[in-house]
Every structure is written in C-alpha cells, then in structure tokens.
C-alpha cells in the first residue's frame, strides 16, 4: 500500500533511555540508533546532522509552499514575493496580521476563534437526534421536568 503524499513514513529504530538520577541530581540520558537510522534523528551538533536536518526542513518548507500555492491558486514562482517579510524574497516569510495577509492574497477573510468553531461544528458536527430511543427519553424527561414546575 502506498502512503499518502502528505504522510510521513518512518524506518529504522531509535531508543532513548533516561536512568535514575545520580546522587548529584543529574539524570543520565542515552540515545541509540540502529545502524540504518542515522538520518532518522540526526545529531545537529555534527556537520552531517546539521545537513540532514536542513534537508528535512527545506523539504517540509517546499511542500508547505506547494500547498499554499495550490490552495490559494498562486503560482509557485509568485509565492515567495507574497510571503516574504521584506522586498527580498530570500528573506522568507513571517506571520502577518489578518489585514496584511488578506491584502497579500493569503487569506479570504478573518474571523474569531469562536466564530470559526461555530461555523465548523455547524457544518461538520454531529446533528442532534430527533427520533430514536435516546431522543424520546430526553423529550419525556423534559416534559416531566416541565410538568413538575
């Protein structure tokens, strides 16, 4: 079975052990990688580890940019200028407030968190049951409570 293009496939093994503290209070920590998993968790204190980490980060950024370009219908060539913090696209992106993001064509509109969740739950959330045993029991209890008042 082929994994989805936006998924992550892992291979190799990594074991991290934290032992009981020494009398000094230090907690010894040991990390072991299988011989075939050195790139799985690269050591950034080495040149090889830094290079591998940079490669993974650059690949993730490229996929993110492709997703933005596709979703916003912006050509991939035009995207760096729209997300750059300065006039130089090599400076890269940053977080923009809603009005700036909208003027750059990165969002359509802004809404509060409460409005966002209300919209999503209204569209995709479970609908209340109006029939069935549980619904009838709830209606009966509501009627009993109303009659008791």
pLDDT tens, N- to C-terminus, the chain (149 residues): 454 555 555 555 666 666 666 666 677 777 776 667 677 778 888 899 899 889 989 999 999 999 999 999 999 999 988 898 887 877 877 889 999 999 999 999 999 999 999 999 999 998 876 667 887 888 888 889 888 87
Q: Are 82 and 105 contacting, i.e. CB atoms less than 8 angstroms apart?
A: yes
Give this prediction's pTM.
0.57
pLDDT at 10: 55
Q: Measure CA 110 to chain center.
A: 19
Structure confidence at residue 128 (pLDDT): 73
């Amino acid at each position: 079975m082929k994994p989805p293009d936006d998924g992550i496939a892992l291979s190799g093994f990594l074991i991290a052990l934290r032992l009981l503290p020494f009398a000094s209070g230090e907690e010894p920590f040991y990390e072991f990688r299988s011989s075939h998993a050195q790139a799985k968790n690269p050591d950034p204190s080495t040149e090889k580890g830094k290079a591998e980490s940079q490669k993974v980060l650059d690949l993730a950024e490229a996929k993110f940019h492709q997703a933005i370009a596709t979703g916003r219908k912006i050509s991939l060539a035009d995207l760096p200028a729209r997300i750059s913090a300065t006039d130089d696209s090599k400076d890269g992106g940053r977080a923009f407030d809603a009005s700036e993001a909208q003027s750059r064509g990165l969002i359509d509109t802004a809404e509060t968190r409460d409005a966002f969740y209300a919209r999503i739950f209204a569209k995709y959330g479970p609908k209340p049951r109006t029939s069935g045993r549980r619904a009838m029991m709830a209606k009966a209890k509501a009627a009993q409570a109303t009659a008791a008042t």
